[in-house]
Amino acid sequence: GNSVTQMEGPVTLSEEAFLTINCTYTATGYPSLFWYVQYPGEGLQLLLKATKADDKGSNKGFEATYRKETTSFHLEKGSVQVSDSAVYFCALSDRDSSYKLIFGSGTRLLVRP
Amino acid sequence: DGGITQSPKYLFRKEGQNVTLSCEQNLNHDAMYWYRQDPGQGLRLIYYSQIVNDFQKGDIAEGYSVSREKKESFPLTVTSAQKNPTAFYLCASSKSRRTYEQYFGPGTRLTVT
């Protein structure tokens, strides 16, 4: 079945450092891929998405490129801020999963001033 | 201001009692979802509804029940049969079953003692 694997956290960075959070997926079809962010005590917010191979999703300085050849959707940001501290979830959805979202286990990011 | 509301934010119950969590959306979305989140883990799907008066079990439906009598409302009942009910519960909605994007409410943290 479909699945999503994320790098384990926590990831601790200093402000203005470069961020990469790895995400790989297994899917039988052609999924859409998402990154969601969860701030402490809150629900999830959609951060960015990509619906086909080679698409790049971007939002708030974050980027991720849909790489079909490596089945990856790594999240990157050039310069993190303290306010980026949160848990980041990679997810996929496709017709084979009945359009249900399948989430990775989440990666906690802590940015120190 | 469109969105998803969940109430209350914190809920405390004694073991053996049923408890109902509220979820309301004014986005005019057809599909609604309930997820459970445990510390350090990803989200697991409890139930989902694609249309009024219809719902399907997700991956961990045992001990839970739902109803969908109105398009904007999708309450979740945590019954006494649920062995480990203490968790963070998130409600989400999407425009239709075939829409990949889901929008999340702020969540309800349920503690059962």
Q: How far apart are CA B102 and CA B30, in angstroms?
A: 11
pLDDT digits (tens, 9 = 90+) for B17-52: 999 999 999 999 999 999 999 987 789 999 999 999
φ/ψ of residue B110, rounded to 5: -100, 130
Residue with tokens 């990949």: B100
For the record, the structure tokens of B73 come out as 């409302």
Q: Could you tell me the pLDDT band of residue A28, with boundaries at 50, 70 and 90?
A: confident
**Across chain A, what does the average pLDDT equal?**
93
3-state secondary structure of B40: coil
Beta strands, E only, B52-113: 54-57, 64-66, 76-78, 87-94, 103-104, 108-112
Q: How far apart are CA A78 and CA A18, in angstroms?
A: 5
Q: How far apart are CA A94 and CA B98, in angstroms?
A: 9
Nearest to B42 among A34, A93, A106 (CB): A106
The pLDDT value given to residue B42:
83
Q: CB–CB of B4/B27 below 8 Å? A: yes
Q: Which residues of A touch B98 (CB under 8 A)?
A: 99
The pLDDT value given to residue A40:
87
The pLDDT value given to residue B26:
96
pLDDT digits (tens, 9 = 90+) for A67-112: 999 999 999 999 999 999 999 999 998 877 777 889 999 999 999 9
Number of H helices, E strands in chain A: 0, 12
Measured at the CA of B76, the angle between CA B62 and CA B112, to 5 degrees, comes to 75
Q: Could you tell me the pLDDT band of residue A1, with boundaries at 50, 70 and 90?
A: confident
Distance from CA of A86 to the nearest CA of B (A): 12
Chain A residues near any Cβ of chain B (below 8 Å)? 32, 34, 36, 41-46, 49, 51, 89, 93-94, 98-101, 103-106
